[in-house]
Amino acid sequence: MKFFIDTANLDQIREAQELGVLDGVTTNPSLMAKEGITGRNNILKHYVDICEIVDGDVSAEVIATDFENIIKEGEELAELHEQIVVKVPMIKDGVKALKYFSDKGIRTNCTLVFSAGQALLAAKAGATYVSPFIGRLDDISTDGLNLIAEIRHIYDNYGYETQILAASVRHTMHVLECAKIGADVMTGGLGAITGLLNHPLTDIGLEKFLADYKKGNE
């Protein structure tokens, strides 16, 4: 299972990269705004800065919502760096753009996916990744993990190569359940990754090992 971090914060990206388990980064316009990155040139430079920190794929989202401008913007993003994956919303012109990019060998991440039908369309259009938002479904009393399971089932039925990128992952249990279901990738905040480290028995056990070592070596 690949671990992506869902942030535009360079310090957090560096921290996850230094841990040695990071496979990529996802961003969106809200995450960019949260870091105070505004203006087209600054946003494009920020994507390149992220690519220089990590080895893996970096999703960069288009703002346009019509086919012509999605293509224009996506091609500009893809030109920025070989690690860039063009993030395209699940709308009609977005689906057309996914097919266009797929035919041109430009990798894509279909975002804002909330149903299995949308995920099926994204796969048929040749998306590299599909991003179902599980946390936002949980927020409205709908089981986000069930959507991951449905998409896994459908993709396996037909051997679609589109990778399921579980997005809007909020905590460690989302990560574990996605791993059990067989999501190809998860993207979440730094805490969802580092939280996997923690167990009180590890802390107690280590404390005892060190205390016993100290006793025998004084």
Backbone angles phi, psi at 171, to 5 degrees: -160, 175
Distance CA 60, CA 87 (A): 5
Q: Work out whether 133 is an interface residue with ligand G3P (CB under 6 A).
A: yes
Q: Name the residue nearer to ligand G3P (CB basis): 101 or 129.
A: 129
Among 2, 102, 124, 135, binds ligand G3P (CB under 6 A): 135
User: Which residue from 74, 156, 85, 77 is spatially nearest to 119, judged by alpha carbons?
Assistant: 156
Angstrom CA distances, 102 to 80, 94, 108, 176, 195, stand at 18, 12, 8, 31, 36
Whether 214 is catalytic is: no
Beta bridge partners of 107: none
Q: Work out whether 128 is an interface residue with ligand G3P (CB under 6 A).
A: no
What amino acid occupies position 116? A
Q: Name the residue nearer to ligand G3P (CB basis): 163 or 187.
A: 187
Q: What does the DSSP 8-state code read for residue 218?
A: -
Q: Work out whether 29 is an interface residue with ligand G3P (CB under 6 A).
A: no
Q: In angstroms, give the least distance from the CB of 103 to ligand G3P.
A: 26
Q: Enumerate residues 188-207 that contact ligand G3P by CB under 6 A.
A: none
The site that binds ligand G3P (CB under 6 A) totals a number of residues, namely 9
Q: Enumerate residues 148-167 that contact ligand G3P by CB under 6 A.
A: 167
Among 187, 190, 192, 193, binds ligand G3P (CB under 6 A): 187
Helix pair 144-158, 116-124: axis angle to 10 deg: 40
Q: In angstroms, give the least distance from the CB of 79 to ligand G3P.
A: 22
Q: Which residues contact 217 (CB under 8 A, 6 or more apart)?
A: none
Q: Which of 45, 87, 104, 215 is catalytic?
A: 87
Positions annotated as catalytic residues are 87
Task: Please give the residue ranges that form the binding site for ligand G3P (CB under 6 A).
Answer: 6, 26, 28, 133, 135-136, 167-168, 187
